[in-house]
Every structure is written in structure tokens, then in C-alpha cells.
Structure 1
């Protein structure tokens, strides 16, 4: 949750890819991520495996393949613990890489849905895929992490499922996993296994999050219009220890703590004189139980009618070359997503 009075909304953008590569939105998660559900389910070409001897080989497609679709570069196969990446904006070259290299997805389980979907069964529709992920991918993801999955944390449950060609050839393996999505839906790179990463939904100091379609978007250069600039990462445990602090206790402490960070980050800038506010996140008890203790302090701007957030252009950092534009105090975009995504 966030300090100040401004509600936050998580919007996930739909992407589409032809034939072998498509990202399919199975449900937008609004607000505080109230349940452990997948955000995206996406399909990929699979390497033939013993459980699916009839799977299509690399580069084979059906008669309906769009002629404009580029040829398949690699077949996909992965096991639990494998880290997966692909080219920006394209999943045709989906492949496994060492988890200490930049990647976008980590496999937490590989499940076989052939019992429910035999060889002559049509592929699940989006509601059915959502149900499969909810019922069969969420629990493995929770077990995969030592402290359990933070339902409001940075990592979201998703799955890679066979594309239509491989489904028709008998492939029934689904790769459950976790990834990190920005508020605008853009997968964020990771350079370590999620099992060893803090799940706190925070951004590095100096990160600016854009405004997009009246919601907080993906990270942008601070010289561009944005919703928030992250000015600090604060560890609540340093003040409250291991016992969960109430939201009101967090708010009271962060009010002072974030003000001090803002003064240091901006070298004493009068934020109010520039129509700027200091805001912060708080942690819910479920997140605390999963080990999430970190929150962001951040700077933004409120619309004149106080209905949401206005765009800010330029950084408020004291040493920023693209300093804050004090003339830019308008805008119509509003809202950020819970837990400062």
C-alpha cells in the first residue's frame, strides 16, 4: 500500500504475437493483487519430449501459419529451476540461460495436463488456462520460495503453455514460473534466481515510473514525464524489528523518515513550492510473513483537483543533469499501483 491519499492501480497491457509467439492476457489485476493469480499466460514452441512423441519439430507449422511469421529459431524445453529469456518484444527465441545471467522467467514446476486434456481434446480457453495456473502453478511457486510467495510482491505467477501446433501434436506440458512485471506490463530482467531475491516490491533509487493511460507505467528516463521518482529504499525492520507493525505505525514513521530522505536526495529543495509531494509504500501482513520488509519513498505531483497524480518532468535529485521542470505542474494522468510497482 502507499502513503498519502492516492489510490494505485495495476494495469497489464495485452501483447500479441503470430503463430509460435504470442503473449495472451488472462486477466488484469487491479489494485492490491488480492489473490495469487497469473498475470500472463503465454505460448511457445516446445522441444519434443517423451510425454509428447508427436510434437512438431523446429520450424514445422500447420497450414494456417501466417506467411509473415518469422521462422522458429529454437525449440523450447526447461526444467524446474531453469531461467528463461527471450529477445525484447519477441519470444520466438525463448531459451534457457544460467540464472546469474539476465533473464525474464524462472521455472518453478513443469506439469502435465494430459489427464484432463487427452490427445483428442481441444486446447483450454483463456478462462481454463487461468484456472490451471491458479490451481496447479500457484502452490508450486509458493513452495519454491523459502519464505513462501508474497501475494503483493514483485514476482507474479505465470506459465508457458504449448502453442496450437504442438498442442495438436500431443504436447501437454505446462511450465509454471515466476517473473517480474512493471506496472505497464513490461517484463523486467533479473540476474539471480528468484529463490534468492528479496520479494519486496521496490524499485532502485533514481528509478522513475511513467504515466500511461491514466495508470503508472513502466520505468522511463526521468527526463520524460513520469508519475514517481524513487528517492529511497527503506527497511522497516530497522525500526520495527521482526514483529509486524500496523499500517498506522508504518505511516507515522515513514512520514518523518521519507521527509528526511527527500531533503537529502534533493539537497533541501522546497518540494511544496514546486507542487511536489513525498509519498511512500507500506507493507501488508501477508507480505511481511513472506519476508518483505523494504519500501520506497518517492516524489510525485498531485493534480490540481486532487483526483490523482500529475506528470513530473525531470529528476528532483540534487545532482541531476535533467533537473526538475518547475513549470510542469499540470497533467491529466493519475494513479499508481499498490506497493509502488
Structure 2
């Protein structure tokens, strides 16, 4: 009697196997999968110029563009394409790697055209962003050019980036008088440059950018006199000192933040320094007497 259950199971298996070989029901062909709908092709994520983002690192998972009239932190101003040997790599280039420099150069040029001037003359940052590893392996070869607003403190002092929320597109933001332009500064309690109005007492005024050929940030300060000499040339030009005339004047400078340097920014920010006494006017175009210090 104990063997009876095994006989029943065997009989049931035989019945299933036999029924599997039987003729298919009317109106069917016996194929289980040939009438299934094909799955849709995987959609590649591609960013779009004109998108604004409420998060600092929009990816496939959190890509939720917002209306640029609403608060955001990044504005995508251009989408480029990796080509050549770089596009043949099995993984995307790292965000801050040297091979991203050509992409950053393209973003740099696009940003200048977008804002109406050298973006480094304002409280602005630019970054070139590659796809994620899954996106790259899925065929994505784009890079995204993002523009963002920095705090007045971090942009003038080379301190760690502090990205500010912005409402409204940054297109043409440096044309004409702009609240984002670097202008006049004084020292705060921690001896950092603090933005002030040029009609208010101040000792420093931004005069322009010198792009250093040095590749390591730490090496720029190895010869500070050479940097000051470059900045003096910019002070003369800014104040419209006649060519060939030399004036004893004060200068200071600030490097890009470490994050900005890693992205590809090599612009040294140069400032006129009054030498001590505060002034309450801009020295732009004011001639040699305005920038002369004792």
C-alpha cells in the first residue's frame, strides 16, 4: 500500500507529457511566443540645451527638468558629442579628467556666446559632464555643458564652490550692467574679498582675467611676482593708462577654486588694490592718477 502514491504521480506525469504532444486547440499553432509583441527598444537618455535642473547632478534616474523661470541650480546650454578614439573607449571619461579638457573648451566657448562675455568675469561656473557608465555602455556619447551661479564669496576668493539657486535663464546675463559681474570688493573679518558697491568704501576692484599656462594649481603661486606683473598689465588696461607708462600700483589675485581648476578653469582673477586707503568710486578708465599708490 505504501507504493500506491508513487504510481499515481507517475501516471499524472505521463498524462501531462502525453497531453503536451497532442494536437493544439483549434485556431492556434502550438507556438508559445511567436505572437507576443516585441518589447520596445531601450530609450537612450539625451539631455537637451535649454533644460534647467533643480539638482546639481541630473542623471537618467533623476532627470527631471524644471521650468527655468522656477528656482534651479544648473542650466544646460549646449550638448556636444564625443568623437574619435575617445568615443571608442569602453567606459566614459571621468568628470574631472584631463581627457575632458576638449569638451570643457567647447563648453567654455559656448558659455561665452551664451552669456554675452567671458563667464569668468562674473559669478559663474561652467562644467562639462559625461554620461553615466550604463548610459555610455548603452551607446550615449554626448557631453552636457552646464552653467551655474556661484556665491560672491566663492567666486572671488577661489574657495570651495557654493552654487546658488537662480530663477530665469542666464542667457545674455553679462551684457550691460549685471548683478552677477565681478566689480568692487573689500576685506571681511576673515580677510576674504567681500563684494560691495563701487560707490561704497572699498579697496579692491576686479580688472580682468589672466589665463595661466601652468597645469598644476599649486605651481601658480611658485612665482607670485610674475602673476602680479600680469595683473598690473590688466590694471593699466582697465584704467586706460597710456601705453608705455608705468605706475606704482597695487594688485592682488585669486585662483579658481580647486573644483573649478579640476573642471578646466585656468583663469587667474586679477584685482586692483588701493594700497590701504578706501575709495568710493570705480577706477575703470580713470587714468594713471587714480591707480597710483604712495
User: TM range, normalised to the smaller chain?
Assistant: 0.3 to 0.5
TM norm structure 2: 0.44
| Higher helix proportion (structure 1 or 2) | 2
Higher relative contact order (CA 8 A, sep 6+): 1
Larger radius of gyration: 2
